Chains A and B, each alone.
Chain A
């Protein structure tokens, strides 16, 4: 991989929770810009933990040990001196369950902008367009966001992140609760978005991993087992454990 094209550099990352879980064990991984990097593996492998490190959402969680280095371009992500607010605007996150805030559709988008002190009406439409939701909501922007369907809510969550014009988008099983059609729409949006963003996706199935991955990292019990371009990893895995998982023999 081209070293200059790396957006996120992770070196020897170790993360333990207060209950003793060794959730990430010595992870080193470079995530390239303008591509979809898929983090996949069986439950409890540390995928969500890794994502939460990247925008420091793990600050909210009981972490006892956090070692190693994470760089976003030149920014030392884990340094206590890092401005986490600015970091989180650069690294947005979409969660497994669509969580819309208890406000209108429009306010869900403008909430993060207002807090950032940004007054830019164009961003509302742009972000909803990019999340493939504009046509469906343009006439009902003042309706409560909870009145949207689950799939629409998840695209609203994506639009909320896009409105902040981040550089990296983290998605933790964003389609796990969605029907195949909504899932397809989200995946389509992601394919279009990777031109401009760095995307890190935890897929909800191996099939989705194979469909979407430019690069794929297989995580098993806190360890990175294999990391390769998607077309290689899914057709010709080097590690027996990766092969077993991809072929559906465990997990």
Chain B
């Protein structure tokens, strides 16, 4: 009798604990949902075919944001080209090849510190190195390189972590059946770490796509109502455009601001969704 009661109390406690945890989870996603809903409500009226594919008019108070969309797309692509192969390569080196000594440890600490540098500092650095010293001018090239440097630490450290999470025993077994180190990495370690690596890549690129400060001095045009036609062209970009129309242009219709924010949010969130899909596909195909 008392035993049954004890069981029921434990059961109730468990239910209570579960409720508590799930309500905490809901609390954390509530602000995110609120932001998204607010921006959708405010921005949706601005969204039209003309707004997406048109060029800005009337001092950006009317028309569309197509050049900024294209610019952000190119910048993200450029950032990926410079940072993804290099970042994954560095991660493979650090996790699989580098001797575990002080020097390697220093590299690792530097990478972690680099990830903490404020983005405006990267912007200044990019201005000095790429725009002025290497004479790329304010251009997609200079901006992509700046964003790539900012993104690299994120990619390297998440990719290295994903590689290290692959059990050592897999490597030993692969070597013991006659695989070389590189075959082991390519056929066992990399596929196993790929979902984790992709997460890091997309997280890094997402941040790059949404940043204003690093492109402020290196690429972004205040107002440039045409599309870039070479990597050495300047371009408009969504985050900077949003900054400009929110603070620099008097008499700006509020719905255009929120419309632009909505487009930027959609761009970033869809990268997130793509990442999630790739990850779950990778998992499913290996049936883990």
Contacts and interface: CB of A to CB of B under 8 A. Distances in A.
Interface of A: 55, 57, 60, 85-86, 88-89, 92-93, 95, 97, 99, 101-103, 111-112, 115-116, 143-144, 146, 157, 160-161, 164
B177 A57 contact: no
Contact of A93 (B176, B179, B192): B176
B176 A92 contact: yes
A115 B167 CA distance: 21
Contacts of A103: 286
Contact of B287 (A88, A92, A144): A144
A112 B192 contact: no
Contact of A60 (B167, B175, B288): B175
B178 interface: yes
25 contacts: A55-B176, A57-B172, A57-B176, A60-B172, A88-B177, A89-B177, A93-B176, A95-B169, A95-B172, A95-B173, A97-B169, A99-B169, A99-B170, A101-B173, A102-B170, A102-B191, A102-B192, A103-B286, A111-B179, A112-B177, A112-B179, A115-B179, A157-B173, A160-B177, A164-B178
A102 B187 CA distance: 10
B26 interface: no
Contacts of A160: 177
B288 A111 contact: no
A49 to B, nearest CB: 14
Nearest to A111: B177
Interface in B157-174: 167, 169-174
A50 to B, nearest CB: 15
Nearest to A86: B178
Nearest to A170: B176
A143 B286 CA distance: 10
A115 to B, nearest CB: 5
Nearest to B166: A102
A92 B183 CA distance: 18
Given A57-B172, A144-B286, 7 more contacts: A60-B171, A85-B180, A86-B178, A101-B188, A111-B177, A144-B287, A160-B177
User: Taking each of A57, A93, A99, A161, which has the highest tally of chain B beta carbons within 10 Å of its own beta carbon?
Assistant: A99
Contacts of A55: 176
Contacts of B177: 88-89, 92, 111-112, 115, 160-161, 164
A88 B177 CA distance: 6
Contacts of A164: 177-178
B175 to A, nearest CB: 7
A95 B167 CA distance: 14
A102 B176 contact: no
Contacts of B287: 143-144
B194 to A, nearest CB: 11
Contacts of B192: 102
A95 B168 CA distance: 13
